[in-house]
Structure 1
Amino acid sequence: MTRHQKRLSVPKSWPVERKTATFTVKAGAGPHGEDGVPLLILLRDVLGYADSRKEARYALSTDAVLVNGDEINDEERPIGMFDILAFPDRDEYYRIFPDEGGRLTLTAIDADSAESRLGKVEGKRQVTGGVTQLSLHDGTNVTVEDEATYSANDSIVVDNESKEVVAHFPYEEGALVTAVRGNHAGKVGEVAEIDVTLGSGSNIVRVDPVDEAATDEPFETVEEYVVVIDENFIEGGAADSEDEGDDE
């Protein structure tokens, strides 16, 4: 199996230039499925902290890079929406967040915010011992005790050290959401109405701008494209992602 990925065919969410070279690095197995961006791309092409795969491997071998609180040694490890990328030695912390084009960007956050990550609940089921297991958008699972508290499309905040749920944001009218895919990716607003579609079709969500005085307009999108967030998750600026490097 090839270790490379053609730039022209990478997911639209990947923060790479598509016409500067033929190939880029291929994501390894892990969370986020095919949408996951290889860590090497963020270290080399976005942040410029490594000039090559070899330099990135060395940095990772020193345990200088944390993803969701865990030391990562694989430069192909997929990174995706709402992951926390931390460089403790540099005192730099980032949250992966979609911009208005749906492209994943690095949003600078403080050390306290980097101690937990947001996850969208995509399903739940009973496991051994009568405990409820929540399946999150990135493919990870979290166990909780009060099943009735959580529903699909809710969002939770998971502590990176204890892996326990420390906050819960229900999916309901009035909830603050961001669109993560589609024509309205990156937009933020409050759920005005959830139009339930009978049959197998997707529910339609109508979203109003948070600030009525702003120039943003209401929009509609499918339920799968919105994630409930807390206002703290949209603070901070995106890191510069202009520089692109070589692939090897």
Structure 2
Amino acid sequence: MSSSHHLKRLNAPRTLRLHRKENKWTIRASPGPHALSEAIPLGIVVRDYLSLCDTRREAKRLLTNGDILIDGNIRKSNNFPVGFMDVISIPKTKKHYRVLYDQNGKLTLVSISSADAAWKLRRIDNKSIVKGKKTQLNFHDGNNMLVDKDTYKTGDVLKINFKDISIMDTFVRKKGTISLITGGSHVGELATIQDLETVPSSSNNLAKMKGTHEFTTIEQYVFPVGKTKPVILLPEVKVQ
């Protein structure tokens, strides 16, 4: 069996919801906008998460028909990697979902409205200057955007409309911003930034957070999801 399209279930990323001893093999996510360790193959989404079919062959047929959209684009590959903050739409059933982490560190689907499915939160992971002295913003999901004025910082999150690729809002990674934790022992928790600490070494910068309790995490794990209140629906997350 080809290793490029399949993966032993026991070796599958821990972010996936899978019965690891049910079968030997599962679908492997292809290289793309999300790392293998942080992605759900689209075939698994439609078969195991959404229960739209029973077999890999049926999932492949469903996708070939163009029935599934990711971030507003038709995706037909069983192996297409679906990851954090991606928006899944099924036009025929008028159902939409956003991919988020739960508090067990598993990627999960949260049902959302058609209005919420029209946009996505994208974090700026790095920037570069391109031809014409424009700034290219490179996002966490592999996408990028050109802007005339460089008014954004790495770590900021942009609320982007799919239809015209316009910026609807900006959530800055700073003190007071409500954020979702995407890694570490506090993954899936919603908390407010209390302070950001720059570490003068090769170590990771730190963020002091306050949600249901106070804790410190790596700054890279902090993903702003609003200003003082989250603009997205979250899976079983409470904040005080």
Could you tell me which residue of structure 1 aligns to residue 40 of structure 2? 37
Q: 2:82 aligns with which of 79, 82, 89?
A: 79
Q: Distance in 2 between matches of 1:237 and 1:175?
A: 20
Q: Distance in 2 between matches of 1:36 and 1:144?
A: 28
Superposition map of 1:139-158 within 5 A: 139-147=142-150, 149-158=151-160
Superposition map of 1:150-189 within 5 A: 150-189=152-191
Could you tell me which amino acid in structure 2 is paired with residue 61 of structure 1? T
Q: Report SS of the residue matched to 2:132.
A: coil
More deviation, 175-184/228-237: 228-237
Superposition map of 1:181-220 within 5 A: 181-209=183-211, 216-220=212-216
Could you tell me which residue of structure 2 aligns to residue 132 of structure 1? 135
Show CA shifts across 1:148-195 (max 9, x none).
Answer: x21011111122122232221111000111111111000001001111
For structure 2, the 5+ residue unaligned runs are none
Q: Report SS of the residue matched to 1:59.
A: helix
Could you tell me which residue of structure 2 aligns to residue 56 of structure 1? 59
Q: Percent identity?
A: 28
More deviation, 68-77/227-236: 227-236
**8 Å contact 2:100–2:234 — kept in the other structure?**
no
Superposition map of 1:209-248 within 5 A: 209=211, 216-230=212-226, 231-235=230-234
Deviation (angstroms), 1:237: 6.9
More deviation, 56-65/193-202: 56-65
Change (3 A) 1:32 1:185: same
Q: Report SS of the residue matched to 1:54.
A: helix
Change (3 A) 1:234 1:219: farther
More deviation, 59-68/87-96: 59-68
Could you tell me which amino acid in structure 1 is paired with residue 220 of structure 2? E
Q: Distance in 2 between matches of 1:167 and 1:118?
A: 9
Q: Distance in 2 between matches of 1:52 and 1:17?
A: 15
Q: Distance in 2 between matches of 1:191 and 1:237?
A: 20
Q: Distance in 2 between matches of 1:129 and 1:117?
A: 27
Aligned Cα RMSD in Å?
1.6
**8 Å contact 2:29–2:39 — kept in the other structure?**
yes
Q: With structure 1 as the length reference, what TM-score do the two structures score?
A: 0.89
For structure 1, the 5+ residue unaligned runs are 210-215, 239-248
Q: Report SS of the residue matched to 2:232.
A: helix
1:121 paired to 2:124: yes
Could you tell me which amino acid in structure 1 is paired with residue 218 of structure 2? V
Q: 2:28 aligns with which of 17, 22, 26?
A: 26
**8 Å contact 2:102–2:235 — kept in the other structure?**
no
Aligned residues: 231
Q: 2:115 aligns with which of 94, 112, 118?
A: 112
**8 Å contact 2:94–2:114 — kept in the other structure?**
yes
Q: Distance in 1 between matches of 2:136 and 2:196?
A: 26
**8 Å contact 1:192–1:207 — kept in the other structure?**
yes
Higher relative contact order (CA 8 A, sep 6+): 1
Q: Distance in 1 between matches of 2:192 and 2:28?
A: 36
Q: Distance in 1 between matches of 2:175 and 2:60?
A: 46
Q: Distance in 2 between matches of 1:217 and 1:197?
A: 23
